[in-house]
Chains A and B, each alone.
Chain A
Amino acid sequence: MITAAMVWEWVIKSVIICLAMTIGFAYVTLYERKVLARIQVRVGPNRAGPWGALQPLADAVKLIFKEELTPATADKKIFFIAPIITVLPMLVITAVIPWGESVTIGGKTFNLYLTDSNIATLYLMAVTSISVYGITLAGWSSNNKYALMGGLRSTAQMVSYELALGLSFVGPIMLASSMSILDIVHAQSKIWYIFFQPAGFLLFFVASLAEVNRAPFDMPEAEQELTAGYHAEYSGMKFALFFMAEYGKMIAVSMIGSSLFLGGFLSPVGFLSNIPVIGFLFGNGPHWLLLKVAAWLFVMIWIRATWPRIRYDRLMALGWKIMFPLGLLNVVITAIVIVLVGG
């Protein structure tokens, strides 16, 4: 029975999620610039607002007012649609990730998630794969050889790493006997799955880096080789959409990874939640998810700051010859152990 109140709740939650992702994207760029700067003995943005806090706003204003150029020989329609295809999945992907249990406001209980789907992990897989179309089409429609190569690289890369990513999902799914992210998070209340599934965690981490085109797998962009890869011809807000997709997906995979392997919104120090007044800080809640995501993003940025890029052919070899078999092996071993222990 769907009531008007429920519809309103969904709409409001969706808007909040979209806004959170967009604002999150803006501040992840600042976070990245600050962390990179600190690692590289620099200061980073500090002009716009205190600690550069308004820098993302300044960037957004600048990008909105920039002239958008479309190459004369580009396929105009596809050139226009490509960034939209890329950015949409990033906005909707976190719909199935729970931020917390529920809150009671004014006598009414609200769940801190949009939906608790029983095929949530499949949804994640399906949605993450969509953005690769945008990237490929962007590379192709630009009518630029660098962009084309960037687009082709990303297609090959994402198709290869999707498999490993999917297989790394299987471990937590089997352990929790559920595809719902909420169930998977709840199943980790005693011990996080990173301890049961260290190989799965590593697989997920590497595959997710490749999935979101982050260093050292930022092959499609590879500014030193392909100038800017698939978005070489994009400018203004269209370029910003690609940027948004990349950083939004960084947040999304961090949230997915935290939920699957690091206990999501669960607190690691839940036993302290009985302390008066500040006890809620140690209890479960969205702030733990936020902390885990921040830590996850920090590792991603750290890797970008220190490691050289892996070469395209090595990347494919790694994906097919190491990650994929390892993923299969991990699934088989997990299954055998579950059967033996009688999970």
Chain B
Amino acid sequence: MTNIREVTVDELRHLVSDRAMTGETMLLNMGPQHPSTHGVLRLLLELDGEIVVNCIPDIGFLHTGVEKNMEAKTYQKAEVMTDRLDYMNSVGNNLVYCLAVEKLVGLDVPVRAQVLRVILTELQRISSHLLWLGTSCLDLAAMSVFLYAMREREMILGVMEMVSGQRMMTTYIRPGGVWRDVPPEFVPAVQEIVNVMPGRIAEYESMLTQNMLFTERTQGIGVISAEDCARYGLSGPVIRGAGVAFDLRKARPYSGYEQYDFEVPTYDTGDIFGRYMVRMEEMRQSVRIVRQALSRLPAGPVLSDNRKFVPPPRSEIGVSMEALIHHFKLWTEGFNAPRESVFATTESPRGILGVFLEGDGGPKPYRVHYVTPSFVNLQSMPLLTRQHFVADVVGIIGSIDIVLGDADR
């Protein structure tokens, strides 16, 4: 009657402790269809009562083959794929890809485009942190914070839509600058976000930071030391929450981050609460950066005028034969990149985001590889969850802020 395939425990022998073989501990399959695994992460938990003995993360349920697909597209067209990796940080994915392409072909970016890139990546960082705040609090069953965070994220998505026509998959940053100049209502809209956010962040903090139920669920849970962070190669708020002041925006500045005045927040507990405090402060610092960027937003072109790599504007095509040829060549064949390999890195909301790009002399990349923070940080799950309760597992998943599209690629 019943034809359910029972997975034998023997198949798991090398993964779980011997006690699972005798039935002393229970194996619990958490995910991939579980409301709190932030997408399609699967965790195999070995439980002693409610205490986690072993946690085995299993990824690959959202593997989309983006990197391989990009090899079949020209450099400009491949960029559209990058939005879909870490869908909470699509602007950042575009940025790091464009940095790599610009490095590969030696393309300069105008100052106005640099500043716009900074504004948008920082807004994206805020929106990503807002979504993290909402969902990770939802994991702890503090449900209202989620909707408050969504309210503010909506303003940021509105700005994204204003500049690119898309709320999430923007592809606004292009090799050589940005797609086109921002509309006149851009600056007032961003100004409003910058004015509103500090008060709203204080509002979230008033609901959480001092809340005894919240601190009980976060303090001393999922602790990781700075040494372990280094051993696992973690990055982003996870290591800053463990007291390591490492941020690529400071350590290896790109897009002119060295000109901005901001701090790298750290917290030395290394637990969920530390990561929470770091991210809250990072939102404030991002607001600070956006405010500075707005005040120095220069006039001028937003796209490089190197016509070998950047398509000419529509107005030129009608009057210039050269422009028409460039337009035709760039959109049919693309530009050729040298037979070289480059590596570009940025600080995404989740940590170090890198792109390895290898050209083969033609218009399509020979190999694209993303080094993604979600994938690397996810490796710490077994360490973080050991000897914690099932209830803490969801809190810990939330605190390392994974995006499965980023981990699986």
**Chain A interface residues toward B at CB < 8 A:** 36, 39-42, 72-73, 145-146, 149, 215-216, 218, 222-227, 304-314
Contacts and interface: CB of A to CB of B under 8 A. Distances in A.
A215 B147 CA distance: 18
Interface string B163-174: 000000000000
A308 B391 contact: no
Interface residues of B, number: 34
B35 A311 contact: no
B216 interface: yes
A305 B26 CA distance: 33
Given A308-B137, A314-B216, A73 B392 contact: no
A306 B144 contact: yes
B151 A41 contact: yes
Contacts of B140: 224, 308-309
Interface string B369-406: 00000000000000000000111111000000000000
Contacts of A314: 216
B36 A308 contact: no
A224 B36 contact: yes
Closest 5 A-B residue pairs measured CB to CB?
Answer: A309-B141, A308-B140, A40-B147, A308-B142, A224-B36
B139 interface: yes
- Most interface-central of A73, A227, A311, A313 (chain B CB within 10 A): A311
Contacts of B35: 223-224, 227
- Most interface-central of B29, B137, B144, B214 (chain A CB within 10 A): B144
A161 B257 CA distance: 56
Contacts, number: 81
B34 A227 contact: yes
Contacts of A226: 390
Given A41-B151, A215-B141, A224-B138, A312 B50 contact: yes
Nearest to A72: B2
5 contacts: A224-B394, A305-B143, A310-B216, A311-B392, A314-B216
B144 A39 contact: yes
Given A40-B144, A309-B140, A312-B50, A225 B213 contact: no
A310 B389 CA distance: 12
Contacts of B147: 40-42
A216 B143 CA distance: 11
B315 interface: no
A31 B214 CA distance: 26
A311 B389 contact: yes
A230 B283 CA distance: 39
B4 interface: yes
A225 B50 CA distance: 11
Contact of B389 (A39, A304, A308, A313): A313
Nearest to B142: A308
A307 B392 CA distance: 16
A310 B147 CA distance: 21
Contacts of B148: 40-41
B28 interface: yes
Nearest to A153: B50
A74 to B, nearest CB: 11
B207 interface: yes
Given A72-B1, A227-B35, A222 B392 contact: no
B141 A216 contact: yes
Contacts of B151: 41
Contacts of A310: 213, 216-217
A310 B141 CA distance: 9
Contact of B28 (A39, A145, A305): A145
B8 interface: no
A312 B143 contact: no
- Most interface-central of B2, B26, B141, B393 (chain A CB within 10 A): B141
A207 B394 CA distance: 26
Contacts of A312: 50, 389, 391
Given A73-B4, A313-B389, 15 more contacts: A36-B143, A40-B143, A72-B4, A145-B28, A146-B28, A149-B390, A223-B35, A225-B390, A225-B391, A226-B390, A227-B34, A227-B35, A308-B141, A309-B391, A312-B389
A307 B389 contact: no
A100 B131 CA distance: 50
Contacts of B394: 224-225
Contact of B26 (A145, A224, A225): A145
A39 to B, nearest CB: 6
Nearest to B28: A145
B332 interface: no
B143 A311 contact: no
A314 B391 CA distance: 11
A69 to B, nearest CB: 14
B211 interface: yes
